[in-house]
């Protein structure tokens, strides 16, 4: 297993700059450019405390994805939204003005939607609804965006002492190790219980997290996201054409979920981003058998036994534990099978 970070701070910055330059017009070209900036680790490490939830996930080979509003860092999505600008932009085109044609023209102009499509979909009452709904919606806009993307966090080394302290109960927990190369360990869609599951083919992409003292400006994405959500709630049979014309903002979800404050840069984090529609409204997991499990330096005997039992039930044969070497460095030692 690798022991060093696969991408340094400068390399992550290059990845971030490339991501921010993508426009989505040629997706294959975008992907090629982005892949060219990444140095993928073979192994990904997930630091865990010992509790019923983590033991159950380990035993069942489940990798759970979460939205950012559940993460411990309130600035996990390190973005800036000019709420006043967004609100004023929309109020400009849906405000109460005397000329109904002017309202429609304004809405059509700002979003690039044909005038006739707008006329079919909007009425005076609908426009008024958009304007009124905007105010309440924008107050929680940042939190709403944090609920949109399902992701899972990894590191690219087992020797990250910050993560042992923060997420593995001060070395009393364990680390789950995933092998990106061995496709036989991806279990989704391969078991009998997968029959009929509408998510068995739902994939996820893995990217490095970037760290900065400068927030990412998500204002225009927030504007179109807000209008999209409000249009979905219109009492109109013609709102689908309007939604269709709103900008796609390709790569915007990745930009929002892959930026964190610079003070976290020593986490050297990677993230798996689930390719999913918004609002699944229930726990989301993929089945991926770990390559091995690493027991923490200070793990207690009962916890150690529980982790080993769960790993064996999951079909994980390799179990290691962290020790301090004669050179006063962290090292790994394999746990004998007889335990």
Which of 99 and 269 is assigned the larger pLDDT?
Answer: 269
Residues 227 and 138 in one domain: yes
Residues 89 and 223 in one domain: yes
The string of DSSP letters for 308-331 reads HHHHHHTT--EEEEEEE-TTS-EE
Residues 44 and 137 in one domain: no
Report yes or no on 280 lying in a domain: yes
d(Cα 331, Cα 85) in Å, to the nearest integer?
53
Q: pLDDT tens digits, residue range 181-213?
A: 999 999 988 888 777 777 777 789 999 999 998
pLDDT at 53: 95
Q: Which of the residue ranges 79-83, 86-90, 201-205, 224-228 has the most confident prediction, judged by mean pLDDT?
A: 201-205
Strands 292-295 and 318-324: parallel
Query: Would you call 264 helix, strand, or coil by DSSP?
Result: helix
C-beta of residue 285 within 8 angstroms of C-beta of residue 62 = yes
Residues 186 and 310 in one domain: yes
Query: Would you call 88 helix, strand, or coil by DSSP?
Result: helix
How many domains are there within the chain? Answer: 2
Residues 99 and 199 in one domain: no
Q: Decide if pLDDT at 301 tops 70.
A: yes
Which of 127 and 206 is assigned the larger pLDDT?
Answer: 206
59's CB contacts (< 8 A; 6+ apart) are 310, 313, 314
User: pLDDT exceeding 90 applies to what percent of the chain?
Assistant: 44
Q: Decide if pLDDT at 96 tops 50.
A: no
Average pLDDT rounded to a whole number, residues 74-99: 63
Q: Which of the residue ranges 4-8, 105-109, 133-137, 176-180 has the most confident prediction, judged by mean pLDDT?
A: 176-180
Q: pLDDT tens digits, residue range 280-300?
A: 666 788 999 999 999 999 999
Residues 137 and 173 in one domain: no
Residues 240 and 258 in one domain: no
Residues 174 and 103 in one domain: no
pLDDT at 98: 39
Query: Would you call 241 helix, strand, or coil by DSSP?
Result: helix
Q: Average model confidence (pLDDT) for the chain?
A: 81
Q: pTM of the predicted model, to two decimals?
A: 0.81
User: pLDDT exceeding 70 applies to what percent of the chain?
Assistant: 73
d(Cα 279, Cα 133) in Å, to the nearest integer?
20
Q: pLDDT tens digits, residue range 16-70?
A: 999 999 988 899 999 999 999 999 999 999 999 999 999 999 999 999 988 776 6
Domain with 92, as residue range(s), is 80-144+217-245
Residues 140 and 158 in one domain: no
Q: CA angle 158-207-223, nearest 5°?
A: 135
pLDDT at 72: 63
Report yes or no on 2 lying in a domain: no
Q: Indicate the residue among 198, 225, 245 that finishes a domain.
A: 245
d(Cα 22, Cα 248) in Å, to the nearest integer?
13
Report yes or no on 37 lying in a domain: yes
Report yes or no on 326 lying in a domain: yes
Residues 196 and 87 in one domain: no
C-beta of residue 261 within 8 angstroms of C-beta of residue 212 = yes
Report yes or no on 4 lying in a domain: no
């Amino acid at each position: 297993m690798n022991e060093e970070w696969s991408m340094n701070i400068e390399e992550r910055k290059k990845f971030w700059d490339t991501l921010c330059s993508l426009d989505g017009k040629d997706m294959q070209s975008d992907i090629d450019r982005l892949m060219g900036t990444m140095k993928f680790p073979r192994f990904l490490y997930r630091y865990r405390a010992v509790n019923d939830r983590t033991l159950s996930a380990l035993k069942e080979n489940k990798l759970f994805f979460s939205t950012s509003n559940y993460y411990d860092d309130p600035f996990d999505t390190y973005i800036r939204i000019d709420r006043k600008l967004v609100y004023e932009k929309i109020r400009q085109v849906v405000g109460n003005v005397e000329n109904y044609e002017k309202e429609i023209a304004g809405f059509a102009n700002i979003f690039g939607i044909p005038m006739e499509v707008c006329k079919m979909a909007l009425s005076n009452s609908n426009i008024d609804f958009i304007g009124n709904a905007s105010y309440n919606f924008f107050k929680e806009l940042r939190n709403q965006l944090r609920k949109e993307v399902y992701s899972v966090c990894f590191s690219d080394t087992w020797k990250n002492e910050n993560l042992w302290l923060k997420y593995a109960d001060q070395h009393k927990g364990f680390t789950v190790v995933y092998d990106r190369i061995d496709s036989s360990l991806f279990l989704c869609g391969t078991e009998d219980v997968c029959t009929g599951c509408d998510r068995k083919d739902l994939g996820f992409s893995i990217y490095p997290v970037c760290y900065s003292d400068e927030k990412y400006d998500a204002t225009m994405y927030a504007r179109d996201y807000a209008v999209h959500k409000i249009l979905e709630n219109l009492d109109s049979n013609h709102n689908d054409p309007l939604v269709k014309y709103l900008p796609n903002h390709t790569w915007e979800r990745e930009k929002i979920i892959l930026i964190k404050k610079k003070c976290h840069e020593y986490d050297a984090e990677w993230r798996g981003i689930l390719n999913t529609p918004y609002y699944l409204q229930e726990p989301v997991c993929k089945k991926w058998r770990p390559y091995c499990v690493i027991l923490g330096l200070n793990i207690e005997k009962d916890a150690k036994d529980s982790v080993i039992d769960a790993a064996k039930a999951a079909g994980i044969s390799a179990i290691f534990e962290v020790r301090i070497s004669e050179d006063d460095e962290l090292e790994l030692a394999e746990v004998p099978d007889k335990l």
